[in-house]
């Protein structure tokens, strides 16, 4: 069966190659409404042409569409809609949430990396993780725990590194620094473990961080194949990107297992308040499930915050007017609470930084740290704009954007 489809795939690929070659020479610039659909292959040719710039491409198409929503069809039952409509996003993620699980395709492609972690489950398994996590995030103790851990990371690592670079006039890779910063923070806050990636030695934790990066990139790369299942062939023969992926997953698993093991030994001694302790408190959870939980939380906390901060500082570097206003706001708050430069702030003080919050939100609106979300559709449904969507289709949801010059549709905050 597998070999039959392999054979078929090969012949089909060759035919497709010639077909694509012909339409490629005839293709016009992208001014149409929605995705171009060619006979038999649907939107596959344009997908292949644009998959290296998937976000720019889909954003551009959606900008020209009614309610920023477009449907597409590809061979191999890959069909669905892509939307950037806030109403439709709300419908899928909130109003009719039950009808839009992650779905089997998504879960299968990410299973090697994420297992049954919160980012890769639906139903009961999702619910128990979500409940535990949201409960934890709302407790005062976790907030203080997080604030104290992040403050410590700031004062003993991030700021000294920046000060030293300033003094020696050394150029830093700020994004790399922020990734390490975010990684230390998430491990401390979620697992009460300090990986020390931002510590004195620039290479500490580097192997794991690289492996994690590879595992995330290569796993999501599986969504970019011309034929949805063809990564399985590479995986079966342990070739190329699949070989690298499996290797990086081994490193990621070893790291997560180490966290669990060290925490299990400690558990006997003290009663911790971090997220992982909550999960470990339930003796029904296997070590493997705990490992998956750890991996999903690293994924949730690392790239998101570091990407948001990188873009924020990058934007700020060309907007001295905004920088001045942020500094002015901080100065007022310092004066109000009798603080000096370099002092840290508590939650109430942080809450008064309205302009700073608006600036960070604006940076995330322009450069969303999570630009795509994927859902499946369980039962036939009608979207708020009247679009019909049938069950079992796949839906991608990029954030709200108009694609032209990388600008987004949301209301300007600044
Ligand atoms: C700038 C920072 C962040 C951004 C932009 C961000 C964005 C997102 C987005 C878009 C989702 C998907 C929502 C959905 O599909 O309904 C999500 C889910 C989630 N995020 Fe974040 N996130 C950030 C930071 C964090 C941090 C620091 C954590 C904590 C460790 C975290 C934990 C989670 C969890 C647990 C989920 C739920 C997954 C699920 O229910 O399936 N996120 N986040
Ligand atoms: C995080 O903060 C808490 C509370 O201050 C502290 O007990 C804990 O040791 C810190 N964790 C790490 C890994 O630094």
pLDDT tens, position by position, 15-37:
656 565 555 544 444 445 788 88
Q: For residues 172 and 244, what is the distance between their CA atoms, to the nearest angstrom? A: 28
Query: What pLDDT digit, counting tens, does each position of 342-387 carry?
Result: 888 888 899 999 999 999 999 988 888 888 888 888 889 998 988 8
How far is residue 222 CA from its own chain's centroid?
A: 15
Structure tokens at 207: 């192997």
Q: For residues 233 and 246, what is the distance between their CA atoms, to the nearest angstrom? A: 14
What sign results for the dihedral spanned by CA atoms 359, 361, 367, 369?
positive
- Closest listed ligand to the CA of 129: 1
Distance 24 CA to ligand 1 centre (A): 39
pLDDT at res. 200: 58
pLDDT at res. 270: 64
pLDDT at res. 159: 94
Q: For residues 98 and 372, what is the distance between their CA atoms, to the nearest angstrom? A: 19
- Closest listed ligand to the CA of 270: 2
Distance 300 CA to ligand 1 centre (A): 6
Q: For residues 356 and 108, what is the distance between their CA atoms, to the nearest angstrom? A: 40
The two beta strands, 394-398 and 78-83, are parallel
Q: Which residues of the chain are under the pLDDT cut of 50?
A: 1, 25-31, 401-414
| Contact (Cβ atoms closer than 8 angstroms) between residue 38 and residue 27 | no
Distance 148 CA to ligand 2 centre (A): 7
Q: Which pTM was predicted?
A: 0.83
pLDDT at res. 27: 47
Q: For residues 262 and 272, what is the distance between their CA atoms, to the nearest angstrom? A: 13
Distance 277 CA to ligand 2 centre (A): 13
pLDDT at res. 357: 96
Assess whether the C-beta atom of 71 lies below 6 angstroms from ligand 2: no
Structure tokens at 183: 């990684």
Query: What pLDDT digit, counting tens, does each position of 54-79 carry?
Result: 888 888 888 888 888 888 877 777 77
pLDDT at res. 347: 87
Residue 73's alpha-carbon distances to 15, 45, 57, 222, in angstroms, are 19, 11, 16, 18
pLDDT at res. 414: 39
- Closest listed ligand to the CA of 364: 1
Distance 345 CA to ligand 2 centre (A): 17
Q: For residues 268 and 258, what is the distance between their CA atoms, to the nearest angstrom? A: 16
Complete domains list, the chain, with CATH: 22-102+374-408 (no CATH), 112-318 (1.10.630.10)
Nearest ligand 1 atom to alpha carbon 121: 41
Distance 157 CA to ligand 2 centre (A): 15
pLDDT at res. 28: 42
The preferred substitution site among 136, 144, 149 for testing ligand 2, maximizing ligand atoms within 8 Å of CB, is 149
The preferred substitution site among 134, 300, 374 for testing ligand 1, maximizing ligand atoms within 8 Å of CB, is 300
Assess whether the C-beta atom of 248 lies below 6 angstroms from ligand 2: no
CB atoms within 10 A of CB 168: 8
Specify whether the backbone of 76 is left (phi greater than 0), alpha (psi in -120 to 50) or beta: left
Assess whether the C-beta atom of 291 lies below 6 angstroms from ligand 2: no
Distance 188 CA to ligand 2 centre (A): 7
Residue with tokens 């030994």: 265
Q: For residues 164 and 405, what is the distance between their CA atoms, to the nearest angstrom? A: 37
CB burial readout 258-295, b (16+ within 10 A) else e:
ebbeebeeeeeeeebebbbbbbbeeeeeeeebbbbbbb
């Amino acid at each position: 069966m597998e070999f039959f489809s392999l054979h078929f795939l090969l012949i089909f690929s060759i035919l497709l190659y010639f077909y694509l070659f012909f339409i490629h020479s005839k293709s016009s610039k992208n001014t149409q409404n929605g995705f171009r659909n060619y006979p038999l292959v649907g939107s596959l040719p344009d997908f292949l042409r644009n998959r290296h710039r998937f976000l720019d491409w889909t954003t551009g198409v959606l900008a020209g569409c009614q309610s920023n929503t477009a449907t597409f069809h590809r061979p191999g039952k890959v069909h669905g809609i892509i939307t950037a409509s806030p109403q439709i996003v709300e419908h899928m993620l909130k109003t009719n949430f039950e009808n839009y699980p992650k779905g089997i395709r998504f879960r299968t492609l990410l299973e090697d990396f994420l297992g049954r972690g919160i980012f890769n489950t639906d139903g009961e398994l999702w619910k128990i993780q979500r409940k535990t996590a949201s409960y934890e995030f709302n407790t005062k103790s976790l907030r203080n725990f997080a604030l104290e851990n992040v403050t410590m990371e700031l004062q003993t690592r991030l700021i000294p590194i920046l000060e030293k670079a300033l003094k020696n006039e050394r150029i830093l890779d700020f994004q790399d620094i922020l990734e390490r910063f975010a990684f230390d923070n998430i491990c401390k806050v979620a697992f009460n473990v300090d990986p020390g990636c931002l510590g004195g030695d620039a290479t500490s934790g580097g192997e794991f961080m690289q492996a994690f990066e590879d595992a995330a990139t290569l796993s999501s790369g599986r969504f970019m194949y011309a034929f949805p299942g063809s990564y399985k062939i590479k995986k079966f023969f342990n070739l190329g990107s699949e070989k690298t992926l499996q290797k990086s997953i081994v490193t990621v698993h070893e790291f997560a297992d180490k966290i669990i093991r060290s925490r299990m030994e400690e558990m006997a001694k003290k009663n911790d308040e971090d997220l992982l302790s909550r999960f470990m408190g339930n003796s029904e959870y296997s070590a493997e499930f705990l490992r998956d939980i750890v991996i999903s939380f690293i994924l949730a906390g690392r790239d998101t915050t570091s990407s948001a901060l990188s873009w924020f500082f990058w934007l700020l570097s060309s907007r001295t007017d905004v920088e001045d206003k942020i500094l002015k706001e901080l100065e007022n708050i310092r004066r109000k609470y009798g603080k000096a430069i370099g002092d840290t702030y508590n939650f109430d003080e942080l809450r008064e930084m309205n302009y700073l919050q608006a600036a960070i939100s604006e940076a995330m609106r322009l450069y969303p740290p999570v630009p795509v979300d994927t859902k499946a559709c369980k039962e036939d449904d009608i979207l708020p704009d009247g679009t019909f969507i049938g069950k079992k289709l796949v839906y991608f949801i990029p954030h709200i954007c108009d694609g032209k010059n990388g600008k987004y549709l949301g209301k300007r905050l600044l």
